[in-house]
Amino acid sequence: MLKIDWMRLYDLLDVLEIERECFGAAAWTHGDFLHYLQERNAIGMTASEDGKFVGFMCYSLYPGKIDLGNLAVAVSHQRRGVGRALIEKLKSKVSKRRGLIHCFVGDRNLAAHLFFQSLGFRAVAVHRRYYNNDQDSYEFCFSRVSQGGCDVDVESEERRANRD
C-alpha cells in the first residue's frame, strides 16, 4: 500500500537515489535539496511502499499559488499511480487562498507533459533557455476554478520579447 508522508532530513539519501535515477546529470544535489527545503514556505513529501521510498515531491507555498519544484518516481514504480497520488495530495492543498499549482517541465520531457495534462494541468507559457543547458521549459498550471484561472498574468518570455 502506498503511503505519503512528510519528507525528513534523514530521507534525503533515498530521495537522492531516486532523483539521480530519474534526472541523471541534471539531478538536484544534496545541497540543492537542503537549500530548497530550508526555505520557510517549502515542503517535501515522500511516497513509500512496503517501507521502501518510491517517489517524492517538493513544493513551495505562496500567496495565491503553490509552486511544484520537484517530482520524481523511481523507474521501477513509474506508471503505477505513485506520481498521480503525489499530485492528488498536492491538489488537495489548493484552496481559495492558494488557487493555483504551477510547475515547469523541460521541453524534451514529453512523458511529464502528458502526465501533467492527464491530471488537469494546462501548458500556459514557454520560457526560452530556462535551464542551464539552454533547454526551454513549459510552464504548466492547475486550477480548480474554470480553465481561465490559470491565465493570471502568465505570458511567455517569447511573446514579451516580441511585443517590446
Spell out the domain ranges in the chain.
Answer: 1-84, 94-164
Using CA atoms, how far residue 21 sits from 102, 123, 150, in Å, is: 24, 26, 32
- Backbone φ and ψ of 23, nearest 5°: -120, -5
* Most confident of the ranges 33-47, 106-120, 139-153: 33-47
Residue 48 has pLDDT above 70, yes or no: yes
- Mean pLDDT, residues 79-101 taken together: 92
**pTM for the structure as a whole:** 0.85
Cα of 121 vs its chain's centroid, Å: 11
- Mean pLDDT, residues 75-103 taken together: 93
Residue 58 has pLDDT above 90, yes or no: yes
Please indicate whether the domains covering 1-84 and 94-164 agree at the CATH topology level. yes
Per-residue pLDDT at 131 = 67
Pick the CATH number of 94-164 from 3.40.630.30, 3.30.420.40, 3.40.50.1700, 3.40.50.2000: 3.40.630.30
Residue 19 has pLDDT above 90, yes or no: yes
- Mean pLDDT, residues 6-33 taken together: 95
- Mean pLDDT, residues 29-37 taken together: 96
Using pLDDT thresholds of 50, 70 and 90, give the confidence band for residue 26: confident
- Mean pLDDT, residues 96-112 taken together: 89
Mean pLDDT of the chain: 87
CATH superfamily of 1-84: Gcn5-related N-acetyltransferase (GNAT) (3.40.630.30)
Exposed e or buried b per residue across 71-107, where buried means at least 16 C-beta atoms within 10 angstroms of its C-beta: bbbbeebbeeebbebbbeebeeebeeeebbbbbbbbe
- Is there a contact between 143 and 103 (Cβ–Cβ < 8 Å)? no
User: Which candidate, 98, 115, 106, places its Cα nearest to that of 59?
Assistant: 98
Is 92 strand, coil or helix?
Answer: coil
Residue 139 has pLDDT above 50, yes or no: yes
Per-residue pLDDT at 154 = 41
* pLDDT top residue among 9 and 129: 9
